[in-house]
Structure 1
Amino acid sequence: MANAETNTIDKELCVNPKKFKSENEDSKRIENTVHQNLKDLSKFKLKRVINNNAQKKLLCVEGTFTGYDGSALVLLEKKAFVEDNLDEHLFNDSSILSKEFENDLYGNYNCFPLVKYNSIKTTIIHPATEKHIAKFENQPVHIVDETAELYKEVTLTHLNKEQFSLQWVYNILEHKAEQERIVFEDLDPITGFVLIPDLKWDGSLETLYLLAIPMQRGIKSIRDLNDLHLPLLKNIRDSGTKAISTKYGVPTSQLRIYFHYQPSFYHLHIHFTYLKYDAPGIFTEKAHLLSTVINNIELMGDYYSKATLSFAVKESDTLFAKYQEHGVLPVKSAEVK
């Protein structure tokens, strides 16, 4: 049955004219992207700051690149300290101190390490759509208690009309991009998956963050999961944790393995993060542990097609407007200071 579903999906992708249109649009977008020749940020023209998170040391700005069409997002994030080779990185005569003040036993300084040890993780999205901008923009947030009926009537209808392109996901699965970044892969079309570093990971063990992306297409989120998917989920759990333990030395008991709902893109994927790292989206209104999902499906095969699932939605998200029209959410409010 699963094989038949997969074959049907693949055929639709091959013959659907809308799919061809989408791929042509993707090609045009790629030809006009700044990533082909980008070496510095001198051509970036700042338009506005859309998020400045002091707690996470993250800045997101919107602007444009001279000579290129379309808006761009630049995300700048301070990296975590790496415990290895601290004498080489920090504690030497290359780390210049500038004193702010001293008082008895206490002194405040600004420290300026060598440039190569003081990098800022930078993510650039270009051309950025309104959906990308809304995703990162600081906005008031509301909780939706999504029943099975609301999912079918509001959320699913919205998803079928508006969602991010999944071409970058298919590029990974088809070895057209990021092949050198793959940590582990199982090519089985039903239970296989690719394990790859998340774009948010800066590469240090302290902030370990990987994504497992199933080879099987057509599973949008945990809402689509049932008992037929248990072999897939258990393979991702077992093979994924083994690969991480082998490559990075992090045991299963120190991994947080979870889904997001709502996810940021609608091809099923699972997050693997280091337990001591407070990764984005680990809170109760967003994260669903893989072990809990497996247990719920074992208790009731169609659990996620019937359950009420709560999630947070920004006022700038078009899904907020849909739930507003449905009378589930209130009129937009000013964020409480």
Structure 2
Amino acid sequence: MEHSNTMAEKGEKRKRDDEADNNGPGKKETSAGGEHPLPGFRLSAVLRESARDKTIFLHGKVNGDGEATEDAVVIMERAPFQAESVSNLLGNNPAMTVQLKNDIYGVYHLSPPAELNDIKTTVIRPATEKHIKKYLHQEVYLIQEKGEDYKNITLPFIESQSSSIQWVYNILEKKAEADRIVYENSDPENGFLLLPDFKWNQKQVEDLYLIAISQKRGIKSLRDLTADHLPLLRNILQEGTEAILKRYKLQANQLRIFLHYQPSYYHLHVHFTALGHDAPGITVERAHLLSDVIQNLEMNSRYYETRTLTYALREDDALLKCFKDSGKC
């Protein structure tokens, strides 16, 4: 609570500064000339923070139309270091304040210039209650979902949700993010688009992260895949790795290529990350290697229809409640 109040006070100070600079709240524009994405931001709560990942998740209110306010989720994370920039910084003998010195070990405070002090800021606005809960710290529980559980519990739950994936269709129809496409196979059945994930700043291949989005609609997740989808999956594997080799000079054996179950949205997509990158969502209870998925479907077309799949759900997840209500956990 004390931390949240401090953050709120700082947020109010920034708001007042913006008002003074821009003759009123919400008037400040981005460098691209558009409306500021967080007009009049007021902090409501710190949802979660990670000292290890240098990331903080915030829930706040922003000015909407007229006197209305909108909820916003803001994710702030320190940008990764770049070797050349850091080398140049240290080579110029920057001011360093000693914090601790013991024999050969020294700890110093160094204030980098603005160009090395970027904070990647992701804004979700207007944010729904589901968005806010997604980033709130929660306990997690393992679910062992049998094929019949999927049909009786999970699928009805998915179909009852109103979550829109129009943003995915906007990408496929090139109404949005067309300039970010790395590779395209336009075949409506077996094609896909490959583009960088927003978690990657595209400045170093060490933490490469791209997403392949299926052109074909109606494939929600692993559970829908059969041998009929093998041409699509093979295209994603082969053409995706070839495109990454051509653009980023990473070999196929330097990549981690996987699907999530449960996925974060129900349209078939495949993750490509640099093998050395400790990317989120690569744990054994969520990630399924694409090469394994292909091999499993080659052996049994109904493999993912009948297979028991284990995954984790947060304690506030509505799907977890469905399993509890059904006496399955």
Pick the TM interval, shorter chain: 0.7 to 0.9
Q: Determine if contact 2:296/2:303 at 8 Å carries over to the other structure.
A: yes
Cα RMSD for the two superposed structures: 1.8
Say if 2:65 is the partner of 1:43: no
1:245-300 CA-partner distances (Å, limit 9, x unpaired) = 00001110000000000000000100000000000000000100000000000000
* TM-score (norm. length: structure 1): 0.84
Amino acid at match of 2:108: Y
What residue is the counterpart of 1:287 in the other structure? 287
Distance 2:258 2:162 in 1: 21
Say if 2:51 is the partner of 1:54: yes
For residues 46-85 of structure 1, the aligned pairs below 5 Å read 46-67=43-64, 69-85=69-85
Amino acid at match of 1:273: T
What residue is the counterpart of 1:298 in the other structure? 298
Amino acid at match of 1:307: R
For residues 123-202 of structure 1, the aligned pairs below 5 Å read 123-202=122-201
Q: Determine if contact 2:63/2:70 at 8 Å carries over to the other structure.
A: no
In the comparison of the two structures, how many residue pairs are matched?
Answer: 295
What residue is the counterpart of 2:318 in the other structure? 318
Amino acid at match of 1:175: K
Distance 2:311 2:267 in 1: 18
Distance 2:189 2:56 in 1: 39
Distance 2:184 2:97 in 1: 48
Say if 2:108 is the partner of 1:109: yes
Deviation at 1:163, TM superposition (A): 4.9
Deviation at 1:79, TM superposition (A): 2.1
What residue is the counterpart of 2:215 in the other structure? 215
Q: Determine if contact 1:72/1:124 at 8 Å carries over to the other structure.
A: yes
Deviation at 1:136, TM superposition (A): 1.4
Q: Determine if contact 2:37/2:123 at 8 Å carries over to the other structure.
A: no
Q: Determine if contact 1:48/1:63 at 8 Å carries over to the other structure.
A: yes
Identity, in percent, stands at: 45
Can you give the 5+ residue segments of structure 1 that lack an aligned partner in the other structure? 1-33, 330-337
Distance 2:304 2:313 in 1: 20
Deviation at 1:236, TM superposition (A): 0.4
Deviation at 1:54, TM superposition (A): 2.1
Q: Determine if contact 2:48/2:56 at 8 Å carries over to the other structure.
A: yes
Q: Determine if contact 1:80/1:206 at 8 Å carries over to the other structure.
A: no
Amino acid at match of 1:285: E
Distance 2:234 2:291 in 1: 9
Higher relative contact order (CA 8 A, sep 6+): 1
Amino acid at match of 1:116: E
